[in-house]
Amino acid sequence: MERVKTAVLLSGRGSNLQSLIDATADKNFPAEIVCVISNVPGAGGLERAAQAGLPTVTINHRNFNGREPFEEVLQKELENAEVELVCLAGFMRLLTKRFVDRWHNRMINIHPSLLPSYKGLHTHERALKDGVRFTGCTVHFVRAEMDTGPIIVQAAVPVHPGDDADALADRVLTAEHRCYPLALKIVAGEKTHVIDNLVETECVRAPDTMLLNPRDN
């Protein structure tokens, strides 16, 4: 089976990369990771990639004068590895419209909130401040405007009494590690049609249950 050649871009510890490494270890998974690229030298995710025997590249954005020259090198690396699909996994650099448009419907991102709520940084702190009873995470196709784009998978995660931002982040992260492999499987398996801002997915089912928070029993 031809698997979709996928790059993972990251800036940090790479726990989402790990979930993708684990999923793609199955030869029947429709995507394979062909390179892992970090804009931060020494990012923990690079070590995870090396452990898994994956090629790694570091492109330190600080060595470039502006976003475009950085992205030209990034583009070259992606082309060298014949990448077909890009996964942003804790990649904390904004990308230009030009780069994003090059990868239209071929680049996906994970974000730690139920988009379109809580775009940007400090999602868990802001959710706790607002007193929401649910937050979660989203995997979406990337568009030029930050944290926008057609939604592929979301997980709803309850806020517990007494949560601080770290506790909530941990609970959401556990959900992220299920969402990202599922989203990659759906996209690489060519099960999606993107129509405007909507993703239509073949052969998937929505859950039957709704959740109350607090519980009523």
From 11-19, 49-57, 149-157, 202-210, give the range in contact with ligand GAR by CB under 6 A.
11-19
| Minimum distance from residue 202 beta carbon to ligand GAR (Å) | 26
Could you say which of 61, 104, 111, 193 is catalytic?
111
Residue type (1 letter), 9:
L
Residue 76 or residue 119: which is nearer to ligand GAR going by CB? Answer: 119
| Residue selected from 52, 144, 156, 173 as contacting ligand GAR according to rule CB under 6 A | 173
Could you tell me the two tokens for 180?
Answer: 């990202």
Radius of gyration of the chain (CA): 17
Residue ranges of alpha helices (H) inside the chain are: 15-24, 44-51, 67-80, 97-102, 123-130, 165-188
CA distance 89 to 71: 17
Q: What one-character DSSP code corresponds to residue 63?
A: G
At 69 the three-state DSSP class reads: helix
What is the three-state SS of 161-178? CCCCHHHHHHHHHHHHHH
| Minimum distance from residue 10 beta carbon to ligand GAR (Å) | 6
Residue 12 or residue 158: which is nearer to ligand GAR going by CB? Answer: 12
Counting contacts by CB under 6 A, is residue 93 touching ligand GAR? no
Task: Tell me, yes or no, if 111 is annotated catalytic.
Answer: yes
Residue 71 or residue 176: which is nearer to ligand GAR going by CB? Answer: 176
| Minimum distance from residue 109 beta carbon to ligand GAR (Å) | 7
CB-nearest residue to ligand GAR: 90
Residue 82 or residue 170: which is nearer to ligand GAR going by CB? Answer: 170
User: Which residues, at least 6 apart from 19, have a Cβ–Cβ distance to it below 8 Å?
Assistant: 176, 177, 178, 180, 181
- Catalytic residues, by residue number, are 111
Residues that bind ligand GAR (CB under 6 A): 10, 12-16, 45, 89-90, 110-112, 173, 176
